[in-house]
């Protein structure tokens, strides 16, 4: 049994300690916005926030999140998340969409730490998020757009 907080609510799940967080969130809790891509921490499709930091949920054992706060794409909120969402829509970033939950979670984490990132900052922060539709340029532009919105 593991108890943790997800998107502001306390949950207790009865699974093996080494069950990946991604499986727990999707299969036990029914939150399917976070995607399974590679399963080996290489693509970023499963990115969630753990105490505000981006993690690869496919390789995070659920026991590691006991007593901690997990946020998924369904629960991300606040001015940074709003700015990122608005920029994504405005610039029509999404193509097939499969990677985009992870992209947004990484972008929000980046802007929360670094409100005015350079291209190099963006490339470094987003380098672990693969997009097979090659939306990288629009992602970078959208992050700059969100940063401008946040600056007011």
Binding flag, residue 136, ligand FES (CB under 6 A): no
Binding flag, residue 135, ligand FES (CB under 6 A): yes
How many CA atoms are closer than 13 Å to the CA of 152, on its beta-carbon side?
1
Considering only residues 68 to 97 of the shown chain, the ones binding ligand FES according to CB under 6 A are 94-97
Angstrom distances, CA of residue 67 to CA of 49, 50, 64: 14, 11, 9
* Contact partners, residue 68, CB within 8 Å, separation at least 6: 4, 5, 50, 51
Going residue by residue from 33 to 62, which x/- string records binding to ligand FES, judged by CB under 6 A?
A: ---xxxx-xxxxxx---------x-x----
- Closest CB to ligand FES among 22 and 111? 22
Binding flag, residue 106, ligand FES (CB under 6 A): no
Give the Cβ contact number of residue 96 at 10 Å.
10
Total residues contacting ligand FES (rule CB under 6 A)?
A: 23
Give the Cβ contact number of residue 120 at 10 Å.
8
Residues near ligand FES (CB under 6 A) are 36-39, 41-46, 56, 58, 94-100, 131-133, 135
């Amino acid at each position: 049994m593991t108890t943790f907080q997800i998107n502001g609510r306390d949950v207790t799940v009865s699974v093996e300690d080494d069950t990946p967080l991604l499986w727990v969130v999707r299969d036990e809790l029914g939150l399917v916005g976070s995607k399974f891509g590679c399963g080996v921490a290489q693509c970023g499709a499963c990115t969630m926030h753990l105490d505000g930091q981006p993690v690869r949920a496919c390789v995070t054992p659920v026991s590691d999140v006991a007593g901690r706060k997990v946020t998924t794409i369904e629960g991300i909120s606040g001015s940074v998340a709003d700015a990122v969402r608005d920029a994504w829509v405005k610039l029509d970033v999404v193509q097939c969409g499969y990677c985009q939950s992870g992209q947004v979670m990484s972008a929000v984490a980046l802007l929360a730490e670094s409100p005015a990132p350079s291209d190099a900052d963006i490339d470094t922060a987003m380098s672990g998020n693969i997009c097979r539709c090659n939306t990288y340029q629009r992602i970078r532009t959208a992050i700059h757009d969100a940063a401008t919105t946040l600056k007011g």
